[in-house]
Structure 1
Amino acid sequence: MRGDEIVKRGRRLNQADIADRLGISVSTVSRALANEAGISPAVRQDVQELARTLGYRSKRVGSTLANRRALAFVPLGSATSGLSGFYFGIVEGMRTAALHAGLALDVRLINEASLSVEAIKKDVAENGATGLLLAGIDAADELVAWCAAEDLPVVLVNGSDPQMRLSSVSPANFYGAQAATRRLLEAGHRKLLHFTQELRPTIAQRRRGFESAAKAAGAEAIVLNNLEVSAAEFAARLVGGAYDVTGLFLWNDIVAVQVLEAINRAGQTGRYSIVGFDDLPIASLATPRLSTMHVDREAIGEAAIRLLRQQMEGDRAVQQLELGVRAVDGGTIQRAK
C-alpha cells in the first residue's frame, strides 16, 4: 500500500507499514530510524529512504532535528552586489524549508577576503551548529577534512565538489548553457562568443555546455574570460568591432546587461543577439528585456535543507543535485542576417 493510499484511508503511516514494504521486522525499522548500532548501512539506508518517500516522520527523528541547528554562510560580496537577488532567493528558500522542518537556521554573511577554516570553526562552535550550508563558497581541502573529522554534515549551495566529497545543490549549469546556446543557434547564428569567469566549477560547467552545443552545430565559437579582459573592456572591444560574432552567451545576467547597455549606448541595438543566465530582477529592467535562463533560486535553497536533513538523519551518501532551468523570452535574440 502506498503512503498516499494509507493517508487517504484516514490513518497515519507507522513503522509497520515500512517493515511490511521491506519485508523486515518492526524492531529493525525502529533501530534503523534511530541510527542505532547493529543495523547494516544498506538496511539503514533502505529504511530511511522509504520513510522519506512515504512521508513518515518518527517522533525520535523529529525531536532530534528540533535540537539541531544549521549554520549557513553567504558571501558578503554576493549578498550586497548585483548578485544579491540570486542569493536572497536561495536564503528565503532555505528559511522556508527549515521552518517547515522545525530546524533552527542561522544565516551569516561572511567576507570572502577574510574567509578561513578557522573563522568557520569559530562560528560553528559559537552557534552550536550541527550542520553547515555553504552558499556560493567552494570548500577547501582543509575545511572538508575538518568537517569529516567532526562528523559535521555539509551541503554546498549553488556549488559543487568535483571530488565528490560533499553533497551539493546547483542549477543545471551544463545543460542550461547548452539550451541557452541552442537558442542562438536556432535563430541562425553560427559565429558565437561566450564571456565567462574561470573561478568556480559551477561556472566552468556553463562554458562546457556552450562549447558542446556550438561544436555539435559546427558553429564558430570564441571563449573569453574575465581574467583575460574585464567585462567593461570586453564590451568596449565588442562595440569597436574586435570580434567577428553575432551571438553572445554571457555567464550571468549582470554581465549580459552591462554588455547590452554598452551596445545600446554605441547605437548598435540589435547588432548582436544576447542570452544571459539566472533570470535576476535586472534582466526584466533591461531595454530590451534580456533573454535569459531562469534559475529557481528558492527551490535550490529548499533542496539544500532537504539534503542537510537527510545527512542529519544518518544518510551520508554524497548527492550532487541539479535543478533544471528554463528559457525566459526577451527581446535580445534576433534572427541572424
Structure 2
Amino acid sequence: MAQRKVGIKDIAARAGVSISTVSHVINGTAPISDEVRDRVIRVARDVGYLDRRKNKGTIASLRKILLAIPQDAMPENDVNLVSWTILSTLMQESESRGIRIVVHEIDHADAFRQVPEAARAVDADGIILVNDDRPALLKEICNSKIPAVLINGEDPEMHINSVTPGNRFAAQKATQRLIELGHRRIIHLTWQGRRTVDRRLDGFHDAFQDNGLDIDGAITLIAEGYEPRHAEAAVRDWLARHPDLDGVTAIFCAADNLAFGAMKALKSAGLTVPDDVSVMGFDGVGLGELHVPALSTVIVPLDEFGSAALELLESSANADSKKRAARRLELGCEVVTRASVGPPPR
C-alpha cells in the first residue's frame, strides 16, 4: 500500500499549532512570529512536505528582508516620488505576505561589503536593493550568496536579479508620439549618473533613427540632478542662450520631476505649454495628472515593482543550491498624452 502523503494537518499536529497557522506560514499570508514560523518550517522539512512544495515553487520562504536604500530614496524624501511610490507598495505587499522589512540606509562612503554584512546581522533571507547599481556593490552582494533583487537599476553583468521599467523602448515610444505630432527638433532633458536614465536617452535617439530624421534635431540637455529646481535652472540657461528656441518645439524629460521644472522655466520666459513648446515626462507620478497643464508622460507601473521583486526573491530562495542565472524583469510602460503636448506651432 502506498504511503499517505503528509499534509498541513499533520504538520500542525506535530508543530503544536493550528492548521491556519501552518497555512499562513507556508503561503506567507499573515505575519507569524519567528519562533513559530521556524518550528513549522522545521517540521515541514523533516516530513518532506517542504521539498514537495518547493518543487512546485509554492513555498513562502521569505521571513525577513533587508531593504538597502540610498539616502535620497528614503521614504521621508518628498522629492523622489518614484522611489516613494515603489517603497510604499513594497511595504504593503510585504506586510500582506507576513514578511518583515528591515531598512538599511546605504552610505556611499561605506565599504560595499556592509550591505551583505547588514543582511547577515539581522538574519535576513534576502536583500532588496533600490536604485543603487554600482558594479562593485552588485558584485559584493552576488559573492555573499544571499538571494537579492535590484529594483529600478541596471546590472549589465547580471550579478543579481533585477526589476526595472522597459526604459529604452518606452522612451522610444514617447519620442515617437512627439514625432507623429510633427515635432522635428526635440530636447531630451536628462541628468547623469544612472544607467536606467541612459537607456531613456538611447530610446530617444532610436526614435529619430527609426524615422530617418536628422540626428541633429535630437538635442540633449543635461541638468545637474533629477529635482525640479535642477531642470528649471538647465532650461532657463538654455533659453538665455537660445531666445528664439532654435527651432525646438518639444522637450522630452527623463523624469516627471524634470518636466515640472522645465514647465516652470518656460512659463517664466513667457512661453506657453503646449502652444509654444510641448513637454513630455517619464515616470507617471500622481502629481503629473494634477499639474496645469496636465503632464503627458510615460506611465511606469510603479505599484508592480514590489510584488515582482518579492516573486523573484522568493524564486531564488526556493532554488536548489546550484548556481542559477540571474533574471532581469523589464516591466512594460504606457505613453499617455495629456494637455502638455500638442502639434508644433505653425
- Asked if TM exceeds 0.5, the reply is yes
Summarize the alignment of residues 145-160 of structure 1 with structure 2, pairs less than 5 Å apart: 145-160=139-154
Distance (Å, rounded) in 2 between the aligned partners of 1:83 and 1:33: 44
The residue number in structure 2 matching 1:328 is 336
Q: What's 2:51 paired with?
A: 34
Q: What is the aligned partner in structure 1 of residue 135 from structure 2?
A: 140
Aligned ranges for residues 64-143 of structure 1 at < 5 Å?
A: 65=61, 68-79=63-74, 80-102=76-98, 104-108=99-103, 110-141=105-136, 143=137
User: CA 1:289–1:131 in 2, change beyond 3 Å: closer, same or farther?
Assistant: same
Q: Distance in 1 between matches of 2:186 and 2:198?
A: 17
8 A Cα contact 2:190 2:258, kept in partner = no
Q: TM-score, normalised by structure 1?
A: 0.76
- Letter of the aligned partner of 1:106 in structure 2? I
Q: Do the aligned residues in 2 keep the contact of 1:72 with 1:105 (CA within 8 Å)?
A: no
Output one character per residue of 1:299-335: Cα deviation in whole Å (capped at 9) or x when no partner. 0111011100000001633111011111223211121
| Other structure's SS at 2:176 match | helix
Letter in 2 for 1:91: L
**Among the aligned pairs, what percent are the same residue?**
28
Q: How does 1:190-209 map to 2 (within 5 A)?
A: 190-209=184-203
2:165 alignment counterpart: 171
Offset, 1:199: 0.9
AA matched with 1:326: E
Contact 2:116 2:141 in 1 (8 A): no
Cα drift, residue 128 of structure 1: 1.2
1:129 is displaced (CA, Å) by: 1.1
Secondary structure at the residue paired with 2:92?
Answer: helix
TM-aligned CA deviation for residue 175 of structure 1: 0.9
User: How do residues 237-256 of structure 1 correspond to structure 2 at under 5 angstroms?
Assistant: 237-240=237-240, 242=242, 243-244=245-246, 245-256=248-259
1:222 equivalent to 2:219? Answer yes
Instruction: For residue 34 of structure 1, give the secondary structure of its aligned residue in structure 2.
Output: helix
Structure 1 contact 90–297 (Cα < 8 Å) conserved: yes
Q: Return the offset for 1:73.
A: 1.6
SS in 1 for 2:209: helix
Equivalent of 1:274 in 266, 274, 279 = 279
Counterpart contact for 2:104–2:118, Cα < 8 Å: no
For structure 1, which segment, 158-167 or 81-90, has the greater mean C-alpha deviation from structure 2 after superposition? 81-90
Displacement of 1:100: 4.0
- How far the C-alpha of 1:297 sits from its partner, in A, is 1.0
Aligned CA distance change for structure 1 residues 140 and 224 (closer, same or farther; 3 Å): same
Q: How big is each residue's C-alpha offset from its partner over 1:216-236, in whole Å with a ceiling of 9 and x where there is no partner?
A: 221521112236995343211
Q: Residue type matched to 2:90 in 1?
A: M
Moved more, 221-230 or 263-272: 221-230
Q: Deviations over 1:44-67 (max 9, x none)?
A: xxx84xx34xxxx3xxx44xx25x
The AA in structure 2 aligned to 1:184 is: L
Q: In structure 2, do the counterparts of structure 1 residues 311 and 139 end up closer, same or farther at CA, with 3 Å as the change threshold?
A: farther
| SS of match in other structure, 1:117 | coil
Distance 1:145 1:172, change over 3 A: closer
Matched with 1:24 is none
**Cα displacement (A) at 1:109:** 5.3
- 2: distance between equivalents of 1:120 and 1:334? 47
* Letter of the structure 2 residue corresponding to residue 132 of structure 1: I
Work out whether residues 74 and 107 of structure 1, in 8 Å CA contact, stay in contact via their aligned partners in 2: no
CA-to-aligned-CA distance 1:163-220 (integer Å, 9 cap, x gap): 1121100111011101111121111000111111221111111000000002222152
1:211 aligns to 2:205 (yes or no)? yes
**How many pairs were matched up?**
284
Partner of 1:15: none
Q: Distance in 1 between matches of 2:64 and 2:86?
A: 18
